[in-house]
Every structure is written in C-alpha cells, then in structure tokens.
Amino acid sequence: MNSDKQREAQGGPVSYSMNLQRAPLREEPPNDYRILSIVSIFFCPLLGFLALLMSYVTNQRYEADEMKRAQDASKDARFSAILAIIFGCSIVFFCIFIFTIVPVLGD
C-alpha cells in the first residue's frame, strides 16, 4: 500500500487494468467496384459518376456497420457501372451504323 501511495505521489499510475475482451469480428467488406466505376465514366459520364458515387456510399455504409445497406449500395454500383458501359457502347455502335450504313443507302 505504501508503494501505491509513493507511485501516486510521483505522478505514475497506481495500477494497470486492461480489458482484454475480443472485438467482434466484422464481416468481409462488400466489393465497391471502384475500378469498374472509374472505367465506366469513359463510356457514359453521367451513369459512370453515379456508379462512382455508389462505390463511395458502399464504403461509408460499411464503416457505419450497416452491412445490408452496404451490400445494396455495392449491387447498385455494379449495376450502374455495367449499365454505363452498355449504354456507351450502344451509342458508339449506333453512330457507326448511322455514319456508315445510311450514306450507302442514300446513293
């Protein structure tokens, strides 16, 4: 007891108490499809930015421990990115069709 008072007088800690509880294991973070979202911006900027936003939301919801909402945002990011790529490719193919096939039919 004297040693405790001496430590306290010196400004040191009296005793250490450590709580050694294990933290609960978190689930694996859902895929945020960030690379796919960035690539999709080059095909259709509007939908690509939406996909990138949903990728960001996925990470934010995972950090807030909202796993169901994070998984939903992950699915939305993937869907938006794939839709942007498909939409961008279809516009390119449509323009190729218009500029190559239609002038031939007009002759």
- Quick: pLDDT tens for 26-67: 788 899 999 999 999 999 999 999 999 999 999 999 999 899
Is residue 40 in some structural domain? yes
Is residue 53 in some structural domain? yes
* pTM value > 0.75: no
Is residue 94 in some structural domain? yes
Residue 26 pLDDT: 73
Is residue 71 in some structural domain? yes
Q: Does the structure show a pLDDT above 70 at 8?
A: no
Do 59 and 71 meet the contact criterion of CB atoms below 8 Å apart?
A: no
Which domain does 57 fall in, by range?
29-106
Within 13 Å of residue 106, how many CA atoms lie on the same side as its CB? 6
Is residue 13 in some structural domain? no
Is residue 3 in some structural domain? no
Q: How many domains does the chain have?
A: 1
